[in-house]
Structure 1
Amino acid sequence: MTKMVNTVLGPVAADQLGKTLMHEHFFFGYPGYYGNTLYVNDREDVLKKGLEVAAKVKAHGVQTVVDATPNDCGRDPELLKEIAERSELNIICSTGYYYEGEGAPAYFKFKQGIGQAEEEIYELLMGEITNGIGKTGIKPGVIKLASSKDQITPYEEMFFKAAAKIQKETGISMITHTQEGTMGPEQAELLVSEGADPGRILIGHMDGNTDIKYHKRTLDTGVFVGFDRFGIQGFVGAPMDEDRVGLLIGLIGSGYEEQLMMSHDTVNVWLGKAPQFPAELAELIENWHVTHIFENIIPSLKNGGVTDEQINTILVGNPSRIFGGEVK
């Protein structure tokens, strides 16, 4: 039986997702952005940019994008739906909360203090997955999880445990944020120990770490690993792309090609006042855009001996398989 995954336009067969970017943000705002009333984003401007981004990735054969924006960072499923309708691009949205240090923890930490958080987190995530987000009827296709640098805090652990329980009950897939590539094995081990299916887990931002033994330790739990910050280099603990490419080639050569994914973690519209990066940093991240993998990274991989078939596995086969499909 063909497995289905929820997109913002409704269910799509996992075998029909095609070339997929597993971790991008059409728009994103750090919690609190809405408090700066001098910078209120115009919906039409955000929509226009979203359609431009969709056209760019479609020009490279991309059929599906997973928008990894969690509930507390400006997620807007109806805007994503309009982008998907007008661009004819599959967009999968998320349910979940960002990591404690850059998320909006006050609400659930208060509930945690009176012993009511875990039940409500489960209720929230399960409610969105089964009934849709708010009154939109739009169902998320993934749970988004996140942890801090060098630790999974008690606050974050509540979300991981709730997500694992829901994954067992519904079969939904999960994508994660590892801060600066730390806690990858620990995230995988926690989720699997709580009963989640490792074949439905993508440990994200692992390209923040270039230790091949660390990657293999994570991969050997059976999960997928994301090289999903291509273009981000020189800040937030991110290595240079050339080092990531070398590591990716090494992992492919070690036989892990069926557990690897690629993406950029782009923020195509910043909600609130957009950051103005210093000139030196702006130069380092000039390739942080949605076509960088296709224009620069794939040619580098091919120069390193990676085949078209292996690239197809990473961009088409693996995204299909994490959602229960069988595309190779």
Structure 2
Amino acid sequence: MSFVRLMTGDIKPEQMGFTYSHEHIVCRPGHWMERGDMDLILDDVHKGEEEVLAAKKCGVDTIVDATAIDYGRDPQAVYDISVSTGMQIIGTAGFNKGFLWDAKMPGRDCTYNDWIEKSSEKELTDFVIKEVTEGMQGTKIKGGQVKFGTGYNSISPLEIKTIRAVCRAHLATGAPIHSHTEAGTMALEQMQYLKEEGVNLHHVSFGHMDRNPDSYMHLKVADTGAFLCFDGIAKVKYNPESIRIQCILELVKRGYQRQILVSGDTARRSYYHSYSYAVGLPYIKKTWVPRLIEEAENRGINGEKLIEDIFINNPKECFTFKKVN
């Protein structure tokens, strides 16, 4: 039986509805807390609840919270927000990227780097499997996807270790895989390790593709059957929306409409309306979607069908647990 695993329990894929594929709701990343960068710390549960409720009211049905344990994940707080707002939320098992592992583990006199270095691949695999099948951080709240990440233009030995552990957890559980690519780099290089572990790349979504607006690279990723997540919507400091939309429509033109995901990766206070009066979570649904429809129609593409695929059909396929053995 196919299912999607929410923090509040399993549902049928058809129940997902309109989905944001990569967000952060509550997170206290130790790396940034130790450096005093408050913009990257989303620690006010009430403000998180306010923002999620605003997204729910404008028509968002499901949010994928991509916060892993080493990015200051708080599964209980996000679960409570899901219950209070009625928003369906998918939690994330696994890991983020290497440079954040220098932060101290809560309640322990060691860093995540120490933990990953000292643990065997089997121990890390078992840890991720437990997060999916039993619960995250001592709760009964289960992860609905497994995640790994790599740094900017680099893949460290410890990151390779977590990639292999996440792949093996996927093969054991059927949980979808999400890849963090720093500034959109190293997606093709990551694939070497996924292929070595026997992963079907259609079960993988690669994040931050719009941070590297290189359509040649995007097409190479799409050729493998993987999903491409354009999750920097509203972040004009990186690229204007015209660039993101151009890359998305190029994929559509080449026949890859059913492999595109979109979200905001809203992981800063300065992106949230509830913290700083920024455009916040409703922006994609209320403002960006109409623009994409208009630009698609201007190029002879059915805009409404494109939106249905990006926000409903593609997430339904991407985030469904797959029988892989």
TM over 0.5: yes
Structure 1 residues 36 and 168: alpha-carbon distance in aligned structure 2, compared to 1, 3 A threshold: closer
Q: 1:249 matched to which residue of 2?
A: 249
Task: Give the drift of 1:35.
Answer: 4.9
Q: 2:28 matched to which residue of 1?
A: 29
Task: Give the drift of 1:27.
Answer: 2.2
1:300 aligns with 2:291: yes
SS, match of residue 125 in structure 1: helix
Structure 1 residues 310 and 225: alpha-carbon distance in aligned structure 2, compared to 1, 3 A threshold: same
Q: 2:65 matched to which residue of 1?
A: 67
Picking from 172, 176, 179, the partner of 1:173 is: 176
Q: 1:12 matched to which residue of 2?
A: 11
SS, match of residue 177 in structure 2: strand
Whether the 8 Å contact between 1:111 and 1:117 is mirrored in structure 2 is no
CA distance in 2, matches of 1:87, 1:190: 39
Q: Which runs of 5+ in 2 are unaligned?
A: 104-109
Picking from 124, 130, 133, the partner of 2:133 is: 130
Picking from 94, 101, 112, the partner of 1:96 is: 94
Q: 2:45 matched to which residue of 1?
A: 47
Task: Give the drift of 1:210.
Answer: 1.4
CA distance in 1, matches of 2:132, 2:117: 26
Percentage identity across paired residues of the two chains: 28
Q: Which is further off, 220-229 or 289-298?
A: 289-298
1:264 aligns with 2:264: yes
CA distance in 1, matches of 2:294, 2:31: 44
Structure 1 residues 112 and 292: alpha-carbon distance in aligned structure 2, compared to 1, 3 A threshold: closer
Once the two structures are superposed, residues 247-279 of structure 1 have per-residue CA deviations (whole angstroms, 9 ceiling, x without a partner) of: 111211221110000000002659xxx9xxxxx
CA distance in 1, matches of 2:6, 2:260: 22
Task: Give the drift of 1:15.
Answer: 1.9
1:110 aligns with 2:114: yes
SS, match of residue 311 in structure 2: helix
Task: Give the drift of 1:325.
Answer: 8.2
SS, match of residue 62 in structure 1: coil
Q: 2:107 matched to which residue of 1?
A: none
Structure 1 residues 83 and 222: alpha-carbon distance in aligned structure 2, compared to 1, 3 A threshold: same
Q: 1:86 matched to which residue of 2?
A: 84
Structure 1 residues 56 and 113: alpha-carbon distance in aligned structure 2, compared to 1, 3 A threshold: closer
Picking from 145, 149, 169, the partner of 2:148 is: 145
Task: Give the drift of 1:28.
Answer: 2.6
Q: How many residues were matched structurally?
A: 306
Structure 1 residues 113 and 297: alpha-carbon distance in aligned structure 2, compared to 1, 3 A threshold: closer
Task: Give the drift of 1:96.
Answer: 1.8
Task: Give the drift of 1:112.
Answer: 6.0
CA distance in 2, matches of 1:195, 1:98: 21
Whether the 8 Å contact between 1:245 and 1:297 is mirrored in structure 2 is no
CA distance in 2, matches of 1:127, 1:113: 19
SS, match of residue 258 in structure 1: helix
Q: Which amino acid aligns with 1:193?
A: E
Once the two structures are superposed, residues 270-302 of structure 1 have per-residue CA deviations (whole angstroms, 9 ceiling, x without a partner) of: 9xxx9xxxxxxx9xx955x21222233222222
Picking from 122, 127, 143, the partner of 1:119 is: 122
What's the TM-score once normalised by structure 2's chain length?
0.85
Picking from 154, 157, 160, the partner of 1:157 is: 160
CA distance in 2, matches of 1:260, 1:176: 14
1:316 aligns with 2:312: yes
Name the Cα RMSD after superposition. 2.9
SS, match of residue 49 in structure 1: helix
Task: Give the drift of 1:199.
Answer: 2.0
Picking from 228, 231, 245, the partner of 1:225 is: 228
SS, match of residue 170 in structure 2: helix
SS, match of residue 58 in structure 1: helix
- Specify which structure has the higher proportion of helix: 2
Structure 1 residues 286 and 153: alpha-carbon distance in aligned structure 2, compared to 1, 3 A threshold: same
Q: Which runs of 5+ in 1 are unaligned?
A: 275-281
SS, match of residue 168 in structure 2: helix
CA distance in 1, matches of 2:269, 2:140: 25
CA distance in 2, matches of 1:325, 1:143: 11
1:192 aligns with 2:188: no
